[in-house]
Structure 1
Amino acid sequence: MFAALRRVHREWKGLQAFKRVPREERKIVFYSEGKGYWSHFEPVFSALQANHNVPVLYVTSAEDDPLLLAPPVGMHAFYIGEGSMRTLFFSTLDVDVLLMTMPDLQSFHIKRSPFSVHYAYLHHSIVSTHMIYRAEAFDHFDSILCVGPHHAEETRAREQALNLPAKKLVEHGYGRLDTIIKNGNPGPLTAEGLPIQVLIAPTWGQNGLIETHGIDAVRPFIESGLRVILRPHPRTRKFASAVLDEIAEQYRNEPLFRLDEDGDGNASLLSSDIMLSDWSGAALEFAFGLERPVIFADVPRKVLNPDYTQIGLEPLEVQIREQLGVVVPTDRLNQLGGIAQAMVADSEKWQATLRAARQRWIFNTGKSGDTAAAYLTTLLN
């Protein structure tokens, strides 16, 4: 009880500190749902500082966000939690621009402010906008920083179908992908004397790979002598914790297995030869960023918008799977070890295909932060 009261008090202090910032200094504000989203904001922030010298106010709902303790030069950070103080923050917001990665603005308790604020959406996944998101997820933003041509086409198709006001669509790109490319070593790994490393990184939900198949998605790799890193979605830990605990207990003393629940997970991504996923956007980050192939377990589609077919466009994550790897029916999960070994042996052949797919589907590779920063500065009053 006292811990909860202390947290609310800290959230209230964070909100009041934000409100004390003079209005003329509230130019660009980033809102982050959690510390795992910084990888999407960072390229934009860096470009704002390097190219425009524009300070940023960073507002986070994560109590343990490291930026609260050590914000970079050019940033002031504030903690508001995810309860009533966050609701109050949004309902009284008076700034020039709010950049956020959280969809569903105006749909639930997070509403647009009565003040003249420009709401810009920064995509935190490469996947399409109309299947794994709710139907109205992006309707109430003023501008969308699009990852690729699919986002622009889908957004315009929905606007036309429902006669919605046209948003400003920016050919942005994907900052997290730029960071992966910069920090990674594209193409096959060449570590000698070590078994192949498989990164299992599925999405979450009732049809998710871990939720539906659990240890059966891990066992075939271990039995084939491959190293496995299981990186579950944070929401899998929240809603299917027992499954993760069962897997962790089973392989507690197995040197080939590791459970990675670090919010960032970049080290696991960069060091893996191949990925097993389902409908997770992480699969596209891995394939496009590292030019290494993906095994897609063919679990049922993740659908939050049952009417997604109405705009007549196949979601990117559906149409691109066989360009990025192979699709394996769930009744063949026991063959995953051999499939992974065969794909890694052909990694150089996959690399050219993956690079071509990235050029087709991603805007401004390596330059997304500069593009976003240049656009955001045009919105300042």
Structure 2
Amino acid sequence: MFAALRKMLREWKGLQAFKRIPRDERKVVFYSEGRGYWSYFEPVFNALQAEYGAPILYLTSAENDPLLDNPPAGMRSFYIGEGSVRTLFFATLDVDVLLMTMPDLQTFHIKRSPFSVHYVYLHHSIVSTHMIYRAAAFDHFDSILCVGPHHVAETRAREQALGLPAKVLVEHGYGRLDTIMVNGNPGPLVRDVPAVQVLVAPTWGENGLLERHGLDAIKPLIDAGLRVILRPHPRTRKLAPAVLDQIAEYYRDEPRFSLDENGDGSASLLSSDIMLSDWSGAALEFALGLERPVVFADVPRKVLNPDYSTLGLEPIEVQVREQLGVVVPTEKLTELGDIVQAIATDSKRWQTVLRDARQRWIYNAGQSGDTAAAYLVSLIK
């Protein structure tokens, strides 16, 4: 009980500290729903500092967010939790611009402020807007920083179908992809050891690869002599912890297996040759950022909007699967080892294919931060 009270007191102090900042200094505000989201904001922040010297107020719901203790120059950071204090923050917000990665504004308890705030949505996945998100997830934002032409087409189609006001759609790109490209040395890896490294990074939910198949998705890879890093979605740890515990216990003494539950997960992404995934947006980041192929386990689609097909647009995560790698039916999971080995021997060919796909699907590859920064500065009153 005392721990909960201390936590709420800390959140309240964070909100009050934010409110003490004079209104004319509350120009651009970032809201982060967790510590793993900074990689999406960082390119935008860096461009704002480099090009405009624009000070940023950063509010986070992550109690252990490293930016609380060590914010970069040009930033002031505040902790507001994810409970009633956060709800109050949104209900009383009085700033020029709020940039956020959390969808469903106005749908549940997080509402738009009565003040004149411009709400900008920053996509934290390359995937489409209409299948794995709720139907109205983006309806109440003023502007959307779009990853590629698919986001523009989907958003406009929904606006026209429902008679919604037209939002400002910025041809932005994807900051996390830019960072991956810079840090990851795109293309096949050169290794001292012969074993291929597979990153298993599926999505979460009842149809997820781990939730449905668990150990059966890992065992064929280890049995084939491959190295495996399992990077589950944080929601899998929360909703299906027994699955992860079973796999970790089974391979407790296996040196070729490791479990990565780091919130960012960049190190395991950059060091892997091939990814095994399902409908996760991480698969698109891996393939388009590192120019390395993905094996897609063909579990049922992840659908949060059962009416997504009425828009008449096939989601990007459906369209690109066979462009980015190989789709494997779940009845052939026992063959994963052989499939991965075959793809690994042809990795150079995949690099050209994936580079072309990036040019087709992603705006401003390598320069998205500059685009976002210029737009945000244009909104300041």
TM-score, normalization: structure 2? 1.00
- Quote the offset at 1:360 in angstroms: 0.2
Distance in structure 2 (CA, Å) of the matches to 1:82 and 1:291? 36
In structure 2, the residue matched to 1:33 is 33
In structure 2, the residue matched to 1:247 is 247
In structure 2, the residue matched to 1:11 is 11
Q: Within 5 Å, which residues of 2 pair with 1:1-381?
A: 1-381=1-381
Distance in structure 2 (CA, Å) of the matches to 1:250 and 1:66? 33
Give the residue type in structure 2 aligned to 1:120: V
SS in 2 for 1:378: helix
- Quote the offset at 1:86 in angstroms: 0.2
SS in 1 for 2:300: coil
- Quote the offset at 1:208 in angstroms: 0.3
Deviations 1:211-268 (A, max 9, x none): 0000001000100010000000000000000000000000000000000000000000
Distance in structure 1 (CA, Å) of the matches to 2:31 and 2:194? 42
Distance in structure 1 (CA, Å) of the matches to 2:28 and 2:279? 33
Q: Which runs of 5+ in 2 are unaligned?
A: none
SS in 2 for 1:59: strand
Q: Which runs of 5+ in 1 are unaligned?
A: none
SS in 2 for 1:176: helix
Distance in structure 2 (CA, Å) of the matches to 1:203 and 1:155? 23
Distance in structure 2 (CA, Å) of the matches to 1:194 and 1:17? 54
Distance in structure 2 (CA, Å) of the matches to 1:235 and 1:29? 26
Distance in structure 2 (CA, Å) of the matches to 1:93 and 1:190? 50
SS in 2 for 1:323: helix
- Quote the offset at 1:192 in angstroms: 2.6
Deviations 1:82-113 (A, max 9, x none): 00000000000000000000000000000000
Give the residue type in structure 2 aligned to 1:269: L
- Quote the offset at 1:194 in angstroms: 3.4
Distance in structure 2 (CA, Å) of the matches to 1:213 and 1:379? 48
SS in 1 for 2:77: strand
TM-score, normalization: structure 1? 1.00
SS in 2 for 1:269: helix
Distance in structure 2 (CA, Å) of the matches to 1:215 and 1:8? 39
SS in 2 for 1:210: helix
Distance in structure 2 (CA, Å) of the matches to 1:262 and 1:98? 27
Distance in structure 2 (CA, Å) of the matches to 1:101 and 1:140? 13
- Quote the offset at 1:190 in angstroms: 1.2
Distance in structure 1 (CA, Å) of the matches to 2:267 and 2:80? 29
Give the residue type in structure 1 aligned to 2:208: G
Distance in structure 1 (CA, Å) of the matches to 2:297 and 2:194? 25
- Quote the offset at 1:193 in angstroms: 2.3
Give the residue type in structure 2 aligned to 1:373: A
Distance in structure 1 (CA, Å) of the matches to 2:146 and 2:134? 17
Give the residue type in structure 2 aligned to 1:341: Q
Q: Percent identity?
A: 77
Distance in structure 1 (CA, Å) of the matches to 2:251 and 2:348? 32
